[in-house]
A and B are shown apart, each in its own frame.
Chain A
Amino acid sequence: MSVTIDDVKYIAKLSMLKFEEEELTSFTQEFNKILEYMDQLNELDLTDVAPLYHPIETGKGQLRKDEVKDSLPIEKTFLNAPAESEQHFSVPKVIKEK
């Protein structure tokens, strides 16, 4: 399995990232190196091996009781926000069909 420079451009676009042409070229090489490394798995017989979804397969996921705890006080809510208006997070207008 390998990727082309167009695949890398597509992934960059989906991730909202912009790169120079030479960066794209080097990413393509690096991606392919990683994929080649992963290809080693194909040399193994994995017929009876269940897919590993998470590195911690042993312990069960912790469940939380459905009990309300305090949310953030409003004066702290927007501390990391670039802009705030009418107690809302304010972002550049998103074009959307009404």
Chain B
Amino acid sequence: MIELLPTEKYEPVIGLEVHAQLKTNTKIFCSCSTGYPAPPNSNVCPVCLGHPGVLPVLNESAVEFAIKLGIALNSRVNLRSIFARKNYFYPDLPKGYQISQFSLPVVGEGELEITLEDGTKKKIGVTRAHLEEDAGKSIHDRGDSTLVDLNRSGVPLLEIVSHPDIRSGAEAASYLRTLRQILLYLDICDGNMEEGSLRCDANISVRLRGETRFGTKTEVKNMNSFKNVEKAINFEIARQIDLLEEGREVVQQTLLWNADKGTASPMRSKEDSHDYRYFPDPDLPPLEISNEWFEKIKSEMPELPARKVERYTNEFGLPPYDAGVLTQQPETSRYFEEAAGFTSARKELSNLIMTEVLKVANEKKISLAEFAIEPKRLAKLVDLITSGVISGKIAKDVFAIMLSDESEPEEIVKREGLSQISDSDELEKIITSILNDNPAQVAEYLAGKEKILGFFVGQVMKQTKGKANPATVNSLLLSLLKRSSG
């Protein structure tokens, strides 16, 4: 019998709970601003402070955003859903309960397709997505007191719960990246994990392969980057396998990930009973979404990244890699598509965006919406390459000039004398003199060392300051060398 490694014996089972802070102007149940940053407790009112006798009134945009996500995940959107109270005590929850949704959430069963490391696709089920309010923020390092800022109290959240379909830390990170990308394209969440506008908790268990029942699960919290989600989940999988291999049991508990130490340790909490005694909130009648409203939102849905990748590869003939890079961020695809409207050389355009535009934008940490070279000017630069006026190499120099010069690329090429030399007579003269000056290399070439051709190309480029048309240089070199052998 073959002895299996412990990691091969067990199958990890992971489900994610993602909290997305919605990009509304106001809170979910009151008209206070969600603006951030703001001085502590400056965006509060009797409703979000939980004063007695106040009534919550639901924010239309929060509902609209939830419907959009539901459509994007191919989910069943419940045209009638119910708000419920989730009861627990914590100082940053002023009412003593959080308004959430329990038995009938606004978004029901759906799915999200992710791409695994080897390029294969996998569908991860999404159990539900429900609307709820965020809690405030506590500061604990102030002597004998805990200080509470309630600016965040009542900010709308969508909690998106996956099926336990995820099998590794890498799959979890991929799910989260894909979900974040959709939230950004829908423009309903800013997706900033470091600042907590996108948060992720993981339910993790392991079981022997072939086993259909679930093992005892733990919940891991406090993973505030994609990298940490992957690390923390892999850490917890390994910890559980070690326990089982030693003949011990996994204890159901909540663990906090510590990114600095690279470990997860149990959360010490007085009330970890998770007995939230949900019941329908009498202050909020059922949320009814009219068919009309639903259809209107559906008709206004933006094109999502998966569909864009399809279109870029099928219609524009781009490689899947390019399509992936260009659709990573909504602003990148917006920039690309606008430029693609002005040139038919999509692959050259894609190259220039991937190698130059994104590099400069990342270095300078600027958004493509305010990039110095507008899409139309970039398209003109691409056309100068494809029409043979300049080489790809010279294009990079022109690009650098365009960053601080509003002139059209043609003007820059003319002004700086950067036009490509395609004139065969002129190039032939240059090449002949180079061959005459380097008889040793010519001999090597003729003796069969064809790699030395690169040396001659380099010499030509040096003499013409990179302006020689590479294709013309190549064919001229080959025929002139052939002639010198004869």
Contact = CB atoms under 8 A, between A and B. Distances in A.
A91 B43 contact: no
Interface in A49-63: 53-57, 59-63
B140 A61 contact: no
Interface of B: 24-26, 31-33, 39-46, 49, 51, 57-63, 82, 87, 89-91, 104, 138-140, 142-150, 256, 265-271, 273, 275, 277, 280, 282, 284-288
Given A66-B26, A80-B51, A83-B145, A97 B267 contact: yes
Contact of A71 (B42, B265, B282, B288): B42
Contacts of B32: 68-69, 71
Chain A contact residues: over half helix, strand or loop, or mixed?
loop
B273 A89 contact: no
A77 B26 CA distance: 18
Interface of A: 14, 16, 53-57, 59-69, 71-72, 74, 77-78, 80, 83, 85-98
Contacts of B140: 93-94, 96, 98
27 contacts: A53-B82, A53-B104, A55-B282, A57-B286, A59-B285, A60-B285, A60-B288, A63-B58, A64-B58, A64-B59, A66-B25, A66-B26, A66-B59, A66-B60, A66-B61, A68-B25, A74-B42, A85-B147, A87-B40, A88-B149, A90-B148, A91-B148, A93-B143, A94-B91, A96-B268, A97-B256, A98-B140
Contact of A74 (B41, B59, B62): B41
A95 B268 CA distance: 8
Nearest to A96: B140
A61 B148 contact: no
Contact of B41 (A14, A64, A77, A92): A77
Contacts of A95: 268, 270
Contacts of A86: 40, 142, 147
Given A16-B89, A63-B63, 4 more contacts: A60-B285, A61-B288, A72-B49, A88-B148
Top 8 A-B pairs ranked by shortest CB distance? A88-B147, A69-B31, A66-B61, A63-B60, A89-B148, A61-B285, A60-B288, A97-B268
